[in-house]
Amino acid sequence: MMAWYAFKRHLTVFRRTWWSNVAFNFIEPFLYLSALGIGLGAFIPQIDGISYIQFIAPGMAAAAGMWAATFECTYATFIRLHYQKSFHAMLAAPGTVAEAVTGDILFGALKSMLFGLVILIVIGLWGQIQSPWAGLIPLFLLLPGTVFSLLALAYTGITPHIDYLGYYVTLFITPLYLFAGIFFPVSSMPAWVQYLAWVNPLYHSVEVCRALVLGNIYAALWLHVAILLAYTVCLGWLPAYLFRKRLIT
Amino acid sequence: MEIVIRAENLRKQFGDVQALKGISFSIARGHCFGFLGHNGAGKSTTMRMLYGLSTVDHGYLQLLGEQVKLTPPHLKRRLGVVPQEDNLDPELSVMENLQVYGGFFGLSYRQARERGRELLDFMGLSGKENANVEKLSGGLKRRLVIARALINRPSIVILDEPTTGLDPQARRLVWQKLRTLKAGGVTLVLTTHYMEEAAQLCDELVIMHEGEVLAEGSPAALVTRHVQPYVIEVHLPREQIPPDIVEKAAAFGGEAEQMAHALFLFSKDGKKLWQSLAELGLPQHACYLRGAHLEDVYLKLTGRGDNLI
């Protein structure tokens, strides 16, 4: 139950700050879509039979989900953990570390969905949604959102100082972002990079989002979903374990 | 008398540091029990064990009739916790803080609001419901943390240094509220390094030092047991104190103690010793006669090792 109460707490706080939070996120995809989609796109005739802007737009939604979960479960969690001592407050109430951490995972996943939805609206207004299947994207983003929340929380759990969170973003999340098949097809890269892409959770998220936006539905999409599920199952225990080591002495 | 918390030979090791070296105590229902000691004495470690942030690795801890290794949620449901550091949600208003915290105990926001109103009233915070927590003074924040700890109507309230950093008015107000709580049957467990706070509030207390319990009892009993009833504080630099002061004082029925680098003369008959100051070679204007209190016990017991005479 504490996981739900913790999640409710995050929602209560989010209600206070959502406008400044979300509004800011409308701007970035606009910038990317104009700079890359229109600017760079002018030099790129077509990728896989679609225009460049069509190619990158769905990836923007997937990426927004990743960034949202990542920032929530690194900086925001670290502030609650280290500065505001919110975890300590929850643990003084009837709850366990695993439940408090689950509250963060749920919230990270929800933010993935919301921020992905924002981008989806932007690209929809831009006229880049070809299929009603795109309506499934917000729901789907809960899955990669959970994976990125778990990864971020695991790193946050072992981070001694807030400055170290930057390394996670720069050395881990940024490469995932750049080599996920958002800006260019992974198939254009050397074979070993293509293998690496399969390890990249964002790649799977991008593939599914693109398929849904274009209405290009095929059975192998389940494979991407299965890999994301496998990530969730394999990593599910890790943040709670690390947080417990840190909080319970 | 029903014992609600019983600890036997609690030990705790953090790496090379032994934070608790086998402490024992028992706390009776409805009492105010104090842990007195300076930073690093092991008070907070003990509190963390009580409210489930620290495991009991060695020794025995019983809480509300159950043996505890790590305080489980169903027992935490009956505790109220005032941690050493205020951990309010700065983004939320005063009432929202109470609602969210009440939510952790399964209260609906409406229930928590009703209880919250009563508690704000009780802690003298009515009218602050919608105030921004970040803009509250230290004293008001502390009162809010105490109000928050009461939202689940706990039978035991654990207060880790509840008044550290508060001004005298705020501190006395908190004391008064804690007395009211105790009168209502709530068991209070408190840590402090303020002697006055311990003397004013606690029925029983332990004096802790470097992970050990040095003494325990009621404040009055501790004073009777460990020091003589009167004390003369000597406010002189060390060089101006006669080197043979221990022997001299003894000749007049006094007991010289060097505590916290200052000289104290204890005596059964304070007046007699006071009149003998000239013979002891101590100027009266640099001396101060008073009744002995808890601080003297504390300094005497914990100050060992820095005696300079």
ipTM of the complex: 0.84
Residues of chain A contacting residue B79, judged by C-beta atoms under 8 Å apart: 92
**∠A32-A34-A36 over CA atoms, to 5°?**
60
The C-alpha atoms of residue B126 and residue B87 are separated, in whole angstroms, by: 20
The C-alpha atoms of residue A90 and residue A77 are separated, in whole angstroms, by: 13
pLDDT value of position B252: 80
The C-alpha atoms of residue B82 and residue B105 are separated, in whole angstroms, by: 15
Mutate to test the interface with A, among B46, B75, B100, B146 (most CBs of A within 10 A): B100
- Report residue B168: phi and psi, to 5°: -55, -40
Q: Which residues contact B212 (CB under 8 A, 6 or more apart)?
A: B21, B22, B23, B42
Residues B274-284 have a mean pLDDT of 82
- Contact state of B104 with A249 under an 8 Å Cβ cutoff: no
In chain B, domain spans:
3-218, 228-291
Are B231 and B266 a contacting pair, CB within 8 Å?
Answer: yes
A96 CB within 8 Å of a chain B CB: yes
Which secondary-structure segment (H or E) carries B300? helix B294-302
pLDDT-derived band at B58 (thresholds 50, 70, 90) equals: very high
Residues A2-31 have a mean pLDDT of 81
Of A65-69, A83-87, A191-195, B165-169, least confident by mean pLDDT is B165-169
Residues B59-78 have a mean pLDDT of 92
| Burial of residue A127, with CB atoms counted within 10 A of its CB: 0-12 exposed, 13-18 middle, 19 or more buried | exposed
pLDDT value of position A171: 94
Are A102 and A149 a contacting pair, CB within 8 Å?
Answer: no
How far CA B47 is from CA of A7, B56, B61, B220, in Å, comes to 27, 12, 12, 24
pLDDT tens digits along A84-120: 899 999 999 998 999 999 999 999 999 999 999 988 9
A90 CB within 8 Å of a chain B CB: yes
Q: Which tokens in the block code for residue A103?
A: 């509250």
Residues A205-211 have a mean pLDDT of 95
Mutate to test the interface with B, among A15, A20, A88 (most CBs of B within 10 A): A88
pLDDT-derived band at A46 (thresholds 50, 70, 90) equals: confident
pLDDT of A26 higher than 80: no
- Contact state of B83 with A8 under an 8 Å Cβ cutoff: no
Q: Which of B53, B85, B91 is closest, CB to CB, to A13?
A: B91
pLDDT value of position B304: 55
pLDDT value of position B305: 47
B104 CB within 8 Å of a chain A CB: yes
Residues A45-74 have a mean pLDDT of 90
Fold topology of B3-218: Rossmann fold (3.40.50)
Q: Which tokens in the block code for residue B269?
A: 């008959």
- Contact state of A5 with B87 under an 8 Å Cβ cutoff: no
- Place domain B228-291 in its CATH homologous superfamily: YebC, transcriptional regulation domain (3.30.70.980)
Contacts A–B by Cβ distance under 8 A: 75
Round the CA-based radius of gyration of chain B to a whole number and report it: 22
Pairing of strands B212-217, B262-267: unpaired
Sheet containing B3-14: which strands, arranged edge to edge?
B17-28, B3-14, B58-63, B66-67
pLDDT of A181 higher than 80: yes
pLDDT tens digits along A209-225: 999 999 988 988 999 99
Q: Which of B70, B77, B85 is closest, CB to CB, to A248?
A: B70
- Contact state of B91 with A17 under an 8 Å Cβ cutoff: yes
In chain A, domain spans:
2-247
Q: Which residue of A has its CA nearest to B13?
A: A249
Residues A64-82 have a mean pLDDT of 93
- Report residue B21: phi and psi, to 5°: -110, 45
The C-alpha atoms of residue B26 and residue A229 are separated, in whole angstroms, by: 50
Alpha helices in A33-96 (DSSP H): 52-71, 77-78, 86-92
pLDDT of A66 higher than 60: yes
pLDDT-derived band at B309 (thresholds 50, 70, 90) equals: very low
Residues of chain A contacting residue B83, judged by C-beta atoms under 8 Å apart: 85, 88-89, 92
Residues B7-36 have a mean pLDDT of 92
- Report residue B210: phi and psi, to 5°: 45, 50
Alpha helices in B70-167 (DSSP H): 73-76, 94-104, 109-122, 138-149
SS3 A223: helix
How far CA A94 is from CA of A243, B7, B152, in Å, comes to 17, 22, 10
The C-alpha atoms of residue B124 and residue B165 are separated, in whole angstroms, by: 19
| Burial of residue B253, with CB atoms counted within 10 A of its CB: 0-12 exposed, 13-18 middle, 19 or more buried | middle
Q: Which tokens in the block code for residue B119?
A: 């508690």
- Contact state of A91 with B52 under an 8 Å Cβ cutoff: yes
